[in-house]
Structure 1
Amino acid sequence: MGKQRYRDILLGLGLLLSAAALVVWPQQSMGAMKDGLKLCANVIVPSLFPFFVLSSLVVELGMSRYLGRLLEPVMAPLFRVNGSCATALALGFVGGYPVGARTAISLYENGQCSKTEAERMLAFCNNCGPAFILGVVGTGIFGSGRAGLMLYFAHLAASLLIGLLFRFYRSEEGPRRWRQAGPQFQATSFPAAFTRSVTGALQSTLNICAFILFFTVAIRIFTFSGLMSTSSALLSTLLSPFGLSQQWAQKLLTGLLEMSSGVSSLTDGALTGRLSMAAFMLGWAGVSVHCQVMAFLGDSGLSLRTYVAGKLLHGALSAALIGGLLWFFPQEISVASYLVEQTEAIATLDFHRALTISAAWAWGMWLVFFALALYVLKKSSGKRGKSVL
């Protein structure tokens, strides 16, 4: 039999075992689904939807073209991408997964950056949001705002370092040059852009929720079936030279699959190890987030390998930077301060509070983008006036 035949047999066996698991553990599966639905309803939808609408409007209305003219002197020499890619970088820093990746893909599909530039941006613009790292991980898990700040600083610094490294990716191709005629501010009518942005944002948010629900149920079933324990034992054996126990291997394996569940398990053990592993998980983002990015990639033709390599490097650099920061700024946190389950805390957040915070951030970013675009427009108009005189 050929490889395709073996692949089909294994796939069919996996589907059969998955169906059997749902029958054997129906209550556990339903409980995991309810927890995932709470997480999506209270946090994911209100926090991501406004940023998805914002990113679509910035690209659809051509505002990113004006930002490109202003930020070209910064983005081109540092990351070898044109200035409009700064939109994906900015939204990726404040919007959380996977707003930055979706914005980079939208820029490519709208012809505002080349394929190589989009792949460079995918490697480092898909980052965790500040609210999650500072509020949930720092305060909720470690009981320390200072620890959250250190994690966020390491996360952003690692992202920028990866951007500098990936400027050498296909180094023969530089950033796309602007046309002499200059960018057009409104590439399409506002009603059409607004309609497409809202409907597209809702579809993107639902896609993300679907992956979160799937991985929430999958991890729960893996745990009850003993597959997680077996896999963690194998992983600990492979990484035994690094001193990784089976307990830490299970935490790492959970974080590799789904980042928030992995971070929520870091409630005991040495502080240095927990912070380093949290930094790695936040940088790696988890298979769940990668599947969300794959859904956006679709038939775009952009390389998924570049994105995955960037995220793996992001996790490693974040962990290394945290180790360096802890060496210079040692932390002391009492045991009682971090005995909090993160996933439970997120799922019980108030919907209106999450929506208000996210909408405020989104509107603030919109005003910044709009002000920068008006500045470039005024500057361009002034130059044309002087040239006429």
Structure 2
Amino acid sequence: MLRTITFAALSLMLVTAIIYRPSEAFQASLQGLTVWWNIVFPGLLPFLTMLELMLAFGAVHALGTLLHPLMRRLFRLPGEAGFALVLGWTGGFPAGAESAAALRKTGLLTRSEGQRLLEMAHMPSPLFIIVVVGAGFLNRPELGLAIAGTVWLTGLLSSLVLARFSREQPQMAEEQPRHTGLFRRAAAAMADARNRDGRSFGKTLGDAVTVSVAKLMAIGGFMMMCAVIAGLVETLLNNAIPAPLLTGLLESHIGAFSAATAQIPGGQPWNIAAITAILSWGGLSSLLQAGSALGGTDLSVWRLAVHRLLQAILAFILSLTVTNLIVKYAGAVIDSSPAMLQNGSHEKRTGPWRVSELPDIWPHMPVALLTFAGILVLLCLISAGAARRDRPYGR
């Protein structure tokens, strides 16, 4: 009862604030829409559609069989988790949560395995970090690579620690004899999954696109809502809360822009550390997106929030330390001035982004898809080598 009253009161307060400040609400909503349409939509649509198709045609089950030896050794997870992990790390929010939820719904993961996979795979988009943040916001693509590396490293370290403390073993029964080749078992798993689905290619493709677009519409709604809340709170409190802190807590894309253009006394190393922490946290928007994806499962978004918060703290400390070392030992590698905008100006932007000011994501999508496929192939080869080492001599 108390929870219902609280949410009702908060909703009423939000509606009142929008009526009181309609111009600020419109501008903030437009900013969230611009980010979603130009960055999130093109960056996620191919990956979400591909996830639906690969699940329907059994490709995920085949990859799970191939990746099982490697994932069992590294993270104590079934092989299907390897596909979800690569998808989340290349597709960005909330592709990892979508894939973890899909595997949990199909029974391929236990609750504990699904929760650990969710915490590992729910990561920001590398395209956004490198292209938009690095090349666009900071005007330094190499800094985007450094930020992405720090986010991935802290995510991987925390995930490995969680895996080491987990006592649960992967539960993936092998229905075929051990002497059967790994690739033959993968082909059998793929055929079995395809037969269970039974839909034609046209039906599967139509369903995949429809489901993916519906999910992207929900994601856009979450982003716009969080952008409006951030804009209204910032206006009503008369900038009493620092803009990077407020926007970063609610929406990571807008928060990264705010942190990149903020006047921070410590100079650009602190700007970069703030961006890294915001992207590692992901914002309330990414948690809402994950919660929407987890509907119908027993996975906890609250545990995910705690994990993301701890990763953000670790990423901030690591990024600040590494950046200061670069400044100290590499001279003027990083300029201490604020990040430049696309037009070369150092002024802090307060209005919504224009489409012409955002780097285009679409030209980079073939590279992202090839990277996704390349990582999967590499992991499958490594896993096949690990399986061969585990096989008794003479078999």
For the superposition of Structure 1 and Structure 2, which TM-score range results when normalised by the shorter chain? Answer: 0.7 to 0.9
- Taking a change above 3 Å as real, the CA distance of residues 222 and 317 of structure 1, as seen in their structure-2 partners, is same
After TM superposition, the score normalised by the length of structure 2 is 0.80
The alpha-carbon deviation at position 284 of structure 1 amounts to 0.5
Q: Within 2, Cα distance between the matches of 1:342 and 1:95?
A: 29
CA distance in 1, matches of 2:83, 2:230: 34
Give the aligned partner of residue 199 of structure 1: 210
Candidates 53, 75, 80, aligned match of 1:79: 75
CA gap of 1:228–1:350, structure 2 versus 1, over 3 A, is: closer
Q: CA deviation at 1:216?
A: 1.4
Partner in structure 2 of residue 332 of structure 1: 334
Q: Which amino acid is 1:24 matched to?
A: Y
Matches within 5 A, 1:114-133: 114-133=110-129
Q: Distance in 1 between matches of 2:269 and 2:382?
A: 46
Displacement over 6 Å in runs of 4+: 370-377
Q: 1:147 aligns to what? A: 143
User: Equivalent residues in 2 for 1:87-166 (5 A)?
Assistant: 87-166=83-162
**Distance in 2 of aligned mates of 1:195 and 1:375:** 34
Q: Aligned partner of 1:106: which letter? A: A
Q: One-letter code of the match for 2:175?
A: Q
Q: Which of 246, 254, 264 does residue 253 from structure 1 map onto?
A: 246
Give the match for residue 230 of structure 2: 219
Deviates more, 1:342-351 or 1:73-82: 342-351
Answer with 357-366 or 118-127: which moved more.
357-366
Residue 200 and residue 98 in structure 1: after superposition, are their counterparts in 2 closer, same or farther (change >3 A)?
same
Q: 1:333 to 1:101 in 2, by over 3 A?
A: same
Aligned counterpart in structure 2 of residue 302 of structure 1, from 299, 302, 312: 299
**Are 2:190 and 1:185 aligned?**
yes
Q: Deviations over 1:250-288 (max 9, x none)?
A: 422320111122211222222222221111111000000
Distance verdict in 2 for CA 1:77–1:13, change over 3 Å: same
RMSD: 3.1
Q: Unpaired segments of 5 or more residues in structure 2? A: 177-184, 328-332, 341-345, 388-393
- Length-normalised TM-score, structure 1: 0.81
Alignment check: 8 A CA contact 1:57 1:197 kept: yes
2:314 is matched with which residue? Answer: 317
Query: Structure 1 residues 274 and 7, CA, compared in 2 at 3 Å: closer, same or farther?
Result: same
* Number of residue pairs matched by the alignment: 356
Q: Distance in 1 between matches of 2:218 and 2:93?
A: 13
Note the alpha carbon deviations across 1:152-204, whole angstroms, 9 max, x for none: 111111111121012145x2311122422345214234524323322211111
Are residues 360 and 138 of structure 1, via their aligned partners in 2, closer, same or farther at CA, if it must alter by over 3 Å?
closer
More displaced, 356-365 or 266-275? 356-365
- Describe the shift of the 1:370–1:202 C-alpha distance in structure 2 as closer, same or farther (beyond 3 A): farther
2:182 match: none
Residues 92 and 126 in structure 2, CA contact (< 8 A), matched pair in contact too = yes
Percent identity, aligned pairs only, is 25
- Which consecutive unaligned segments of at least 5 residues does structure 1 have? 233-246, 381-386
